[in-house]
Structure 1
Amino acid sequence: MGNIEAVIGQIRQADSARRPLMDKLQAMATFVRVVEARSFSKAAETLSMPRSSVTTIVKNLEAHLGTPLLRRSTRSLSLTEAGARYFASCQIILAEVASAESQLSATTTAPRGRVRVDMPGVIGRSVILPRLHEFETRYPDIELVLGLSDRPSDLIYEGIDCAIRTGALADSTLVARRLGQLTWLTCASPRYLKRYGEPDSVAALGAHHVINYVSNATGRPLEWRFSVDGEDVTVTMRSRFSVNETEAYVQCGLEGLGLIQLSEFAVSPFLRSGRLKEVLAQARCAPVPVSIVYPQGRVTVAIRTFVDWIVEIAKTDLAR
C-alpha cells in the first residue's frame, strides 16, 4: 500500500502549503475513466456527471501535477508520456483501494450499489431473468441494469461493469470466469421438412434452404459449424434470408423459411412443443464456452457479489 501512503502524503503537503485540496482519488478515477472511454463526454455519461465537471477535474489534476496528461484534438484524445506513466500508476492505486474496500465491506455490511451487466438475449431470458426474484431476496441493496443484446459491447468504453460472453475470448485485458457451455443445434420446422425433406449429412446441405445469422460485430453471416468424422468444420452457407437478432432468427425457422443453427437455449421450448425438430444431430459441433468478464481495476463489492451469484447458478443452468 506504499502508493496509497504516498498519495495521502501529497494531499497533506498540499493542505499544509495552503493549495486547494483536491479529492485525489476521485480525480484519479475520473482521469482513468476519460482515458478508458477515449472521450470526456463518454466518461461523463458513464460516471453520471456533467461533462464540464469531468473536464474541470482533469484540468485541475494536470495543474496540480504541473504537466499535461492528455493531448486533445477535435476528434481524439491521447496520453502524453507523463500521462501514460500516471495512468498506469492510477490503475494500480485504484485497484488496491477497491480491493481494500471490498474486503472490508464484505465483512461489515450487506453489498450495495449499482451493477451494469451486458449479456446475450437468449442467456438473459433463459438463465438470468427467471432467477431475479432469488437475487433480489438475497441482495436487496444491489441495483441491476441488464442489457440483453446480441450486439458485442466494449466494457471499458461503454462503462459496463461485467458481461456474459460466448465463444473464445479475444480481450486478454479482462478478468474471465468460466460459467459453462452452450450446445448449438441445427433445426427446421415440420412444414419445411415436409416440403424439402431432412438432410442426412452435412454434404447434403447444398440442396437445402438456410437462414443465415448476421454478426453484429462484423456485419457478415456467421459460418455454420459441424463435426464431421470427429473433426470440427465450418461451412459458409448461401441464403435468401439473413437476420441479426435471435428472436427474428428463430421466427424464420418456425415459418419454414429454411434451416437454422443456434443454441439449445434458444430453441429448446420449440423442440419440446414440436414446432421445431433437430436435424443432423450426429454432426453437432463441440459446445462453445460461456464466460463472465469484467475489467480488473473496477471491481466493487456489488460487482463481485453479482459475478459470484452468476457463477453459482451457472453450475446448474449452464453446465450442459
Structure 2
Amino acid sequence: MNKLNELMIFAKVVEAGSFSAAAQLLGVTKSSVSKKISALEQHLGVKLLQRTTRKIGITEAGQGIYQRCLAIQHELDAVEHEVAAVQQAPTGVLKIGASPMFGNATLAAMMPEFLLRYPDVTVNLHLTELQSDLIGEGFDMSLRMGEMADSTMIAQHLCTVKVLICASPSYLNRFGRPLAPADLESHQYLRWQQEDTAPFEQVVLQKNGSYYESKINSKISSNNAIALREAAINGGGITMLPDFAVEQQLAKGELEVVLPGYHINSYPISMVYPDRRQMPAKLSVFIEYLKTKFNR
C-alpha cells in the first residue's frame, strides 16, 4: 500500500511540474514528497525524475512508470464510482432474518411490493426462532422480538405487538367461553414451548392493575406458533398469539378473542443491523419501507 501511495505521489509531481506544487495539492510538506519519490526510485532501482534548481524533468523510465500510474488511477476511480453507485442505488442481495411467525404472517406479504419498487434488489428471507449472528452469517438486518439486551448492534423500534388469547368459534361454542381467568383451567390450551426450556404451566393476565394467574392444561404443544394457530383454527383449543399473526383470522371469523377485557402481554419488535455508517442503499430503503408500512 505504501508503494501505491508513492506511485500516486510521483504522478502528482509529474502533473504539477514541481515538488512544491505537488506538496501543496496533496496537503503535505515538500520534504515529505521528496522522500517518497526517493524511496520509490530506490525500490524500483531507476531514476524517475531529473531535478534542477528551476524545474524537474521526467526520465524515459519515469515516463513509462507515469503511464502505468495513469492506468492505476483510472482503475481506482472506477472502483470508487462502482462503490458510490452501490451505495446510492438499491441493488444486490438483501438478507433478512426473522421469526417464522412474523416472517410468514407479515414480512412475506410485503416483499412483492418492495421488489416492484426496487427491481435490482433480491431478498433472502431467512426464518428461524434462533437469533441470527448478523455479521458472521452475512445478514443485513434481523427483526427481533422483545427487549434488546446490550449490544454493539443498532436496534431501531419498528412496532409494539400485543398478545391475544384466542380460539375458534366452533371450539368456544362446544366448550363454552371463559368469563374469568380461572375458567381457562377447564379448557385445552395450545402451548408454545421454546426449545431447551421447561414448558410453562400457567398464564398471567392483568386487569385494572390486578394480576390473575391461571393454570393451563395442554395436550398439544409446539415450538412453532404457526402450527398452534392452525390447531386453534381447527378447534384444538385456546392459545396465545401476537396480534399480527391472527389479524386476518379474526377478521374472517376463523378465530375470536377470549377474555378481551384482560391484558396479557406486549413487546416491541426491533430492526437490528450492524452499523448506521456507510449503510448500503438496499438496506436503507428497506428500513424506510418497513417504517412506512407499520406506521400505516
Normalising by structure 1, we get a TM-score of 0.60
* 1:46-82 CA-partner distances (Å, limit 9, x unpaired): xxxxxxxxxxxxxxxxxxxxxxxxxxxxxxxxxxxxx
Q: 2:218 is paired with a residue of what secondary structure?
A: coil
Deviation at 1:287?
2.8
CA spacing shift, 1:173–1:225, aligned 2, 3 Å: farther
Cross-structure match for 2:285: 305
Cross-structure match for 2:224: 245
CA contact (8 A) 1:184 1:263 kept: yes
Cross-structure match for 1:195: 174
| One-letter identity of the residue aligned with 1:315 | N
Deviation at 1:163?
0.8
CA spacing shift, 1:234–1:203, aligned 2, 3 Å: closer
Deviation at 1:104?
4.8
Q: 1:251 is paired with a residue of what secondary structure?
A: helix
Pairing 1:139-178 to 2, within 5 Å after superposition: 139-178=118-157
Pairing 1:6-155 to 2, within 5 Å after superposition: 9=2, 12=5, 104-105=84-85, 109-155=88-134
* 1:182-205 CA-partner distances (Å, limit 9, x unpaired): 121101122322332122122332
Cross-structure match for 1:226: 205
CA contact (8 A) 1:224 1:261 kept: no
CA contact (8 A) 1:102 1:301 kept: no
Deviation at 1:248?
0.9
Deviation at 1:276?
1.7
CA distance in 2, matches of 1:154, 1:234: 36
Deviation at 1:168?
1.1
| One-letter identity of the residue aligned with 2:234 | E
CA distance in 1, matches of 2:181, 2:213: 10
* 1:157-200 CA-partner distances (Å, limit 9, x unpaired): 32222111122112522101111111211011223223321221
Q: 1:192 is paired with a residue of what secondary structure?
A: helix
CA contact (8 A) 1:102 1:300 kept: no
Cross-structure match for 2:237: 258
| One-letter identity of the residue aligned with 1:230 | G
Higher share of residues assigned helix: 1
CA distance in 1, matches of 2:214, 2:159: 25
Deviation at 1:150?
3.4
Q: 1:281 is paired with a residue of what secondary structure?
A: coil
CA distance in 2, matches of 1:164, 1:120: 8
Deviation at 1:299?
3.6
CA distance in 1, matches of 2:228, 2:235: 11
Cross-structure match for 2:250: 271
Gaps of 5+ in 1: 1-7, 19-99
| One-letter identity of the residue aligned with 1:310 | L
Gaps of 5+ in 2: 8-38, 44-79
Deviation at 1:233?
6.8
| One-letter identity of the residue aligned with 1:147 | H
Deviating beyond 3 angstroms after TM superposition, the runs of 4 or more aligned structure 1 residues are 8-18, 100-106, 149-152, 218-225, 231-238
* 1:233-268 CA-partner distances (Å, limit 9, x unpaired): 776644222111122111221232221000122222
Identity value in percent: 28
Cross-structure match for 1:290: 269
Number of equivalences: 227
CA contact (8 A) 2:192 2:228 kept: yes
CA distance in 2, matches of 1:236, 1:153: 33
- 2:188 pairs with one of 209, 230, 243: 209
Q: 1:313 is paired with a residue of what secondary structure?
A: helix
Cross-structure match for 1:182: 161
Q: 1:195 is paired with a residue of what secondary structure?
A: helix
Q: 2:159 is paired with a residue of what secondary structure?
A: strand
CA distance in 2, matches of 1:298, 1:231: 48
| One-letter identity of the residue aligned with 1:198 | R
Task: Tell which structure's C-alpha radius of gyration is larger.
Answer: 2
Cross-structure match for 1:53: none
CA distance in 2, matches of 1:294, 1:102: 23
| One-letter identity of the residue aligned with 1:180 | C
CA distance in 2, matches of 1:102, 1:220: 52
